[in-house]
Amino acid sequence: MHYKQKHIYIGVDLHKKTHTAVVINCWYEKLGEITFENKPAAFDELTTYVKQFKKRGMTPVYGLEDVGGYGRSLAVYLTENKQLVKEVNPSLVKDERKSHPNPQKSDSWDAECIATVLVRKLDKLPDANPQDVYWTIGQLVTRRNGLVKALISLKNQLHTQLSYHYPSYKKFFSDIDGKCALAFWEKYPAPHLLKGVSIETLAAFLRKSSNNACSTRKAEEILILVQADGDTTRSYQEQRDFLIQSHVRDITHKKKEIAHVEAEIGNMMKLLDYQLETMPGIDLVTASALVAEIGDITRFASTDKLARFAGIAPKIEGSGGKEKTKKTKLGNRVLHGLFYNLAVQQVQVSKGSKKPRNPLFYEYFNRKKEEGKTPTQALVCVMRRLVNIIYGMMKNKTAFRLPEQVEKQAS
């Protein structure tokens, strides 16, 4: 008996309020369908329903697209009850849906497509392993990303408001959201508030706000620029001043909240004892993002499976005895983006010293180009090698270390 005949396959289409599950066999024959509420008390309905299709010696295997969002509670319930659960890539389901001559869209059909992918890719799909520690880190990373996105939007709005009041505002400070700059915008949101303010008074304020980083020269420069800009006072100036001060307060709050979230992420990462930050280019934010997307590394039996999960392993197409590799858009695109950005950093050269940030990868990247690969293809090779290293570091909880000969070359 083929190993696929020893399973029944349950594809689950996940939603906020209800889930729809379709049961099929290894011959893609639909055996049944059930819709149930998305709450732990209703999950027994699914497992009880599936039992009627389970023959002796057969094992149910469940396929879920989203084990970190709407499907997390179900994934936790099934794994805690010793059920086999696979994480199905949404791209595979989309391709399955589009492969039919008359594509349709419904909860029932989506669930059946998930089950079909489950049959075809049973040995290649990663096990769902929704452990609380990885899920919590993922939620914190998502929260930080949301705060950073909001902060960028606020900074852009502040740029717009400042341009109305201070035409030369970009020359005042190197960063408009630096500690000293924010203090200045809040106290002096418009030039009219600087009337009568002496260089010494402004310099004292800037020194206090910047921990003595800004000097009297900076105060003098600002006052000269303000004088050269001319009068920007208009009607309802008080409300316009309030807008800038409101943006400053919001930016300050967002920065503090980001710091709180990053501290919490640091505490969670210490529990896992990974040493990803020992590798050049990986800080706490990148390390936590990698861990959030990869999850428990033991669910990947090899580096090849992690590479496929990240969409880094190329697909091979051939005809008439000729083969060629092509880039695939399957896989976890967030994780793919993390590896891409990390690969770019590894092959960069420092502007000041002109030395490569990571001699090992810089040499490897150039060697691949010498072999005839394009820069893009060579970068994919770097990404693939990074998968091997990250996999080993996470699995063995070891630190990154350059080979001895590379260290000697770099010194």
> What average pLDDT is seen over the chain?
91
H-type alpha helices, 316-374: 333-346, 359-370
- What is the per-residue pLDDT for 390? 96
Above 50 in pLDDT, residue 411?
A: no
pLDDT tens profile 250-261: 999 999 999 999
Residue from 265, 304, 49, 279 nearest 139 by CA: 265
Assign residue 204 a region (left: φ > 0; alpha: ψ between -120 and 50; beta: otherwise): alpha
> What token pair was written down for 229?
């800009």
Residue from 137, 127, 168 nearest 262 by CA: 137
- What is the per-residue pLDDT for 215? 87
- What is the per-residue pLDDT for 245? 98
Q: Which domains does the chain have, with CATH numbers?
A: 3-130 (3.30.420.10), 135-268 (1.10.287), 274-410 (no CATH)
Amino acid letter at 31? L
Above 80 in pLDDT, residue 208?
A: yes
Above 90 in pLDDT, residue 193?
A: yes
- What is the per-residue pLDDT for 355? 87
Instruction: State the virtual CA torsion across 170, 176, 180, 186 in degrees, nearest 10.
Output: 100
Distances (CA, A) of 65 to 22, 111, 202, 319, 352: 14, 10, 58, 32, 46
Residue from 155, 174, 144, 146 nearest 252 by CA: 155
- What is the per-residue pLDDT for 408? 45
- What is the per-residue pLDDT for 130? 84
- The most distant pair of C-alpha atoms in the chain lies apart, rounded to whole Å, by 92
pLDDT tens profile 340-393: 999 999 999 988 888 888 888 999 999 999 999 999 999 999 999 999 999 999
pLDDT tens profile 288-321: 999 999 999 998 989 999 999 999 976 555 556 5
Instruction: State the virtual CA torsion across 75, 77, 79, 85 in degrees, nearest 10.
Output: -40
Is residue 341 within 8 Å of residue 386, measured between CB atoms?
no
- As a 3-state breakdown, the chain gives helix, strand, coil percent values, each rounded to 5, of 60, 10, 30
Question: Which residues lie across from 24 on neighbouring strands?
Answer: 9, 30
1 — pLDDT class (breaks 50, 70, 90): confident
407 — pLDDT class (breaks 50, 70, 90): very low
Q: For 330, phi and psi rounded to 5 degrees?
A: -80, 175
DSSP assignment of 202-260: HHHHHHHHTTT-S-HHHHHHHHHHHHHH-----TTHHHHHHHHHHHHHHHHHHHHHHHH
How many whole angstroms separate alpha carbon 147 and alpha carbon 263?
Answer: 14
- What is the per-residue pLDDT for 357? 86
Contacts of 178 (CB under 8 A, 6+ apart): none
